[in-house]
Structure 1
Amino acid sequence: MIFDNQYEQQRIQKAEELRKEGINPYGHGFCKEITNKQFLEKYAYVKEREEKKDESVCVKLNGRIKFLRHMGKAVFAKIEDESGIVQIYFNQDSLGKEWFKKVKKLIEVGDIIEAIGYPFVTKTGELTLHANELNLVTKAIVPLPEKYHGLQDKELRYRQRYLDLIMNPDVKKVFVLRSRIVSLIRDFFENHGFLEVETPMMHPIPGGANARPFITHHNALGVDRYLRIAPELYLKRLIVGGFEAVFEINRNFRNEGMDATHNPEFTMIEFYWAYHTYEDLMKLTEDLFDYLFEKLGLPKKLPYGEHTIDFSTPFDKIKYKDAIVEIGDVPQEVVEDKEKIISYLKERGIELEFPHKMSLGALQAELFDNFVEEKLINPTFITHFPIDISPLARRSDDNPEIAERFELFIAGKEIANGFNELNDPLDQYERFKAQVASKDVDDEAMHMDEDFVRALGHGMPPTAGEGIGIDRLVMLLTNQHSIRDVILFPAMRPLPKEEKGEKE
């Protein structure tokens, strides 16, 4: 049985006793008239009265009991709702002797109640509800964690987020702020003339990024489908179709490892802007950050772990290979030579599986990832990426080995990726073929998408596109250091049977 320890069994017995009294421990029809926060604001005037109460009003509050203190014929309790905590008081005289006795016996911490009464101020100066009526709304079978230790086990907090939210108010604040951030991002793009759209979650061909997909099966059609790794190729189809500014905020799925910045499903915004360039996108990204900081009332210098990050715009910009030399301290002659890169990495304990099959750009990416990325603390745009690691980006007219692309790094993490979109269908076809050919050394390389190439054949106007990781952005703005702390229900490894309480 799920509820098998002695405390849970005791609470089940109390629920049965309530039923015998004609009280449904899981009733309905309870309406909420005022929040706890509104109660504290609306009746603050009682503190200024000579008589520290106002019996002329009748107030109904609903909330979960977080604390109970029995004092003989009187009880103090703290009840919590979404807005905060309020103290209530009731005694034998106000509830009646028989009901008061039952309440003391059958109603406990964790239960959700309805309290009706009037505001008064205690001797310690706390605005409190004096309850003349108290009703059980929902009986909690599972006790809350012990008050003073709370819920500290990170693993348990992620697995039982509902309990984490009950016990840790600061966690709830993070997710309220996350919702606010997403709402503001949507407002920003709509105010700039972008149209919000929705594109498929199940793709016939995985595309739009280098990643390993999740595979599912459509029974009716008898075909495999892939949970999307990115919406990019569908959003660009919309640009071909005549929309000139679109965005989508939604989930992507990548069948990869989990760590502090990676979850198999994560939230991104991707946006595409016809007749604009990646330089325009960098300015738009800076404007987005300015907008978020203004609307959220945040200072431009924010703590993040041991760092203080300066979000003042404009952000720094540096070319990809210059960053490897100047920030990564890699000698210039190494950066331009495949064999020297392989030796340089090997000397520093970085072994690659198929180094001699990798392109120069892919090897330069190893240098960047290992020696540059973690040093990019303040917001920094990295530009001029190698074309061979940018299969969907447009080639530079000045240097065909360079992509017209940037990535934004903050606190050592990639936050955004943007580029001038490749709209030459023949070039795109050749790059897809090169990606397919590289699958023997890179199982995350892209697949061939002939329909997308055909769409480009109808003509896509010059377009710039960008993706921003919402989860990582929220981490930065809330000073959280694990992606699990900004995703309500993060992916978790299955528990062993003994931890689940299962028996062989």
Structure 2
Amino acid sequence: MNWLPDANILLLKKRARIIQGIRQFFIDRDLLEVETPSLSQSGVTDQHLACFKTYFIGPEISIEKAEPLGTPLYLQTSPEFHMKRLLSAGSGSIFQISKAFRNEESGRYHNPEFTLLEWYRIDFDHFQLMQEMDQLLQQVLSCEPAKKMTYQHAFMQILQVDPLSASLEQLKEAGQSLHLGEVLDNEKDFDTVLQLLFCFAIEPVIAQEKPCFIYDFPASQAALARISPVDKRVAERFEVYYKGIELANGFHELNDSAEQLRRFEHDNCLRRANALPEMPIDFRFVASLNKLPNCAGVALGIDRLIMLATAQKHIDKVLSFSIKGA
């Protein structure tokens, strides 16, 4: 039986140096490093994310709230909710390098357990945060300054369709050349169609020579971002890509508890409609949002970043042990 690590020791040393450099990047900017739980009593409601679920059996279990197997707990897909509770409590700007978990496929860019860098900047908007992230990417990847492009412009340039005004049928027509067959033809959800088109038509084209920030996502994909006061059709959200790899997702953070609760409830409606289990809403997080200071935050996949920095073609090659060898 093969017991060796997936990554060779030389590459693991390079990985360690990269992470040390990332940590120093934030220390030099006076951000507080924090630690938050991997386990939570709430998961995430986003229908495109799947949480690992386990049960806690201990002496402090509330019999009324516990399921037959114990108190359900979820491994976190991101430290976001807990980090924002720290921000609301007055932590100031913070960062964290931690493990995150998503019960999804294992493949070239995916491992169910992965390392995530997440940071939040008080009194930054998403444009200021993009600028800081660009500086980090240049440091780690020795790349050129990133390009910036709106979500709308990317669709119009590559697919010749406006994602903010097109009908569902117009979007499907624009995607006919992608040969997605029944997957596209039978899809009824507008945002799922947008995501399919983005994934198969836009991601492979953009950011081949330098990183590219895509910003001003449709308001329907706001997630935890504010809606733009300039154009209500878009959210103050961005993603960054390089050489066909999605690296990060960031927001000018929403700090409206009522609006965030509405979005979570809408997510669970979508889950019911798609025969997915509803997820318990994190009401502690929701309650904290009205105290959240003006800030912007972003989550960046460390393993994918190291793939690019070390010219590796598969995520397994930058992990000591992938899920296949753990």
Tell me which interval the TM-score lies in, with the shorter structure as reference length.
0.7 to 0.9
Q: Helix, strand or coil for the counterpart of 1:375?
A: coil
2:267 is the alignment partner of 1:419: no
Q: Rg bigger for which structure?
A: 1
Partner of 2:64: none
Conserved? CA contact 1:425–1:453, under 8 Å? yes
Amino acid at match of 2:121: W
Instruction: Flag the 1:204–1:429 CA change in 2: closer, same or farther, 3 A.
Output: same
Whose RCO is larger (CA < 8 A, sep 6+)? 2
Partner of 1:236: 84
2:288 is the alignment partner of 1:455: yes
Match of 2:22 among 185, 188, 196: 185
1:108-159 deviation digits (Å, cap 9, x = unpaired): xxxxxxxxxxxxxxxxxxxxxxxxxxxxxxxxxxxxxxxxxxxxxxxx8xx5
Conserved? CA contact 1:208–1:229, under 8 Å? no
Conserved? CA contact 1:208–1:233, under 8 Å? no
Match of 2:201 among 357, 371, 374: 371
* 396-405 or 437-446, which deviates more: 437-446
Structure 2 residue runs of 5 or longer lacking an equivalent are 62-69
Conserved? CA contact 1:341–1:363, under 8 Å? yes
Partner of 2:269: 437
Once superposed, which parts of structure 1, at least 4 consecutive aligned residues long, lie more than 6 Å away? none
Instruction: Flag the 1:450–1:334 CA change in 2: closer, same or farther, 3 A.
Output: closer
Corresponding residue pairs, total: 310
Conserved? CA contact 2:45–2:278, under 8 Å? no
Partner of 2:65: none
Cα deviation for residue 416 of structure 1 reads 1.2
Q: Distance in 2 between matches of 1:493 and 1:344?
A: 42
Conserved? CA contact 2:159–2:174, under 8 Å? no
Q: Aligned Cα RMSD in Å?
A: 2.4
Instruction: Flag the 1:447–1:345 CA change in 2: closer, same or farther, 3 A.
Output: farther
Considering fraction of residues, name the structure with more strand.
1
Partner of 1:160: 3
Conserved? CA contact 1:207–1:233, under 8 Å? no
Q: Distance in 1 between matches of 2:213 and 2:79?
A: 23
1:172-204 deviation digits (Å, cap 9, x = unpaired): 221110000111111111111111111011111
Match of 1:226 among 63, 74, 90: 74
Q: Distance in 2 between matches of 1:470 and 1:389?
A: 24
2:309 is the alignment partner of 1:477: yes
Partner of 1:490: 322
1:91-117 deviation digits (Å, cap 9, x = unpaired): xxxxxxxxxxxxxxxxxxxxxxxxxxx
Q: Helix, strand or coil for the counterpart of 1:352?
A: helix
Amino acid at match of 2:309: L
Cα deviation for residue 335 of structure 1 reads 6.8
Partner of 1:402: 234
Conserved? CA contact 1:422–1:428, under 8 Å? yes
Partner of 1:200: 37
TM-score (norm. length: structure 2): 0.88
Q: Distance in 1 between matches of 2:80 and 2:307?
A: 24
Cα deviation for residue 292 of structure 1 reads 3.2
Q: Sequence identity of aligned pairs in percent?
A: 31
Q: Helix, strand or coil for the counterpart of 2:100?
A: strand
